[in-house]
A and B are shown apart, each in its own frame.
Chain A
């Protein structure tokens, strides 16, 4: 392996500390890529981390891992030229400089020839990130819908008179006949009026308010 040979040469002055730790350097780069991907997707989507576990995030993660591992391997060649007394820590330096190089230089690289992108790493990564963030936004909505469904089922189980009171109190703003309107719409759509009103509540009222109402009912 070229890198192993390069770092093992006596002229490097490193001894053979790096080859032993190269796997650790790569492991650090991979672990850091996961952390970085999680932070970036979550912050771009402005959604909790739980919603960011989607297929598109995996592709973005793969891109980061590939870039960080390649630059870590490149950095390991340079690190081998450092003082031999630092040999036990070569893997940390290789991972640090590799990740630094990818995050600061390669990630911001756009090489174009005659206005045609040749090596537009920044654009590839941005596209992967926005795709992952958009998928996380949709996933978050789906999660919310599932939670709303569960809450609506619970709410539909309470006596109708209580449910109507809650609907009238929370949804009557601008719609004084809201209970009658929702009942009529449910009937038109051959839907369960209690469940329909319960869904109306959970989509309109903050979750903690509904849960507190349920716990008191």
Chain B
């Protein structure tokens, strides 16, 4: 899969890309664990952007911090594409 312009634009932002990778690698993660990994980051903004792009979804829990974020089929395709050396290099340069 080749990244769409919209997705590539989104993943140009290193924070959003980092958040996406943190979700896509384990496939599911709790928001609390994301906050531990990205303490200085506006996580809600990144999550909202990734959700709008249909790369991730959020499964709500009683406490917001324990909501589970999981990667969608589109997200899995993007994560696979990001592993390609050409795309990896391109994203790293941005």
Contacts and interface: CB of A to CB of B under 8 A. Distances in A.
A46 B63 contact: no
A130 B77 contact: yes
B interface, how many residues as a size bin?
20 to 34
Contact of B80 (A130, A141, A204): A130
Contact of A199 (B27, B59, B62, B65): B62
Given A130-B76, A130-B80, A141 B70 contact: yes
Interface in B24-47: 26-28, 32
Interface string A63-82: 00000000000000000000
Interface of B is mostly: mixed
Contacts of B59: 141, 145
A97 B61 CA distance: 50
A107 interface: no
Interface residues of A, number: 24
B73 interface: yes
B61 A203 contact: yes
A45 B70 CA distance: 11
Nearest to B71: A137
Interface of A is mostly: helix
B76 A44 contact: yes
A133 B62 contact: no
Count chain A CB atoms within 10 A of each CB in B1, B61, B72 and give the residue with the most.
Answer: B61
A117 to B, nearest CB: 12
Nearest to A174: B65
Given A46-B26, A203-B66, A134 B61 contact: no
Given A134-B71, A137-B70, A141-B28, A196 B77 contact: no
Given A45-B27, A46-B27, A134 B62 contact: no
Contacts of A196: 62
Interface string B65-84: 11010111101110010000
Contact of A200 (B1, B63, B68): B63
B69 to A, nearest CB: 10
B74 to A, nearest CB: 8
A134 B72 contact: yes
Contacts of A46: 26-27
A84 B66 CA distance: 65
Interface string A131-167: 1011101101100010000000000000000000000
Contacts of B63: 171, 182, 200, 203-204
Interface of B: 1, 26-28, 32, 59, 61-63, 65-66, 68, 70-73, 75-77, 80
**Sorted from nearest, which 7 A-B pairs have the closest CB atoms?**
A134-B73, A203-B61, A203-B66, A130-B76, A199-B62, A200-B62, A46-B27
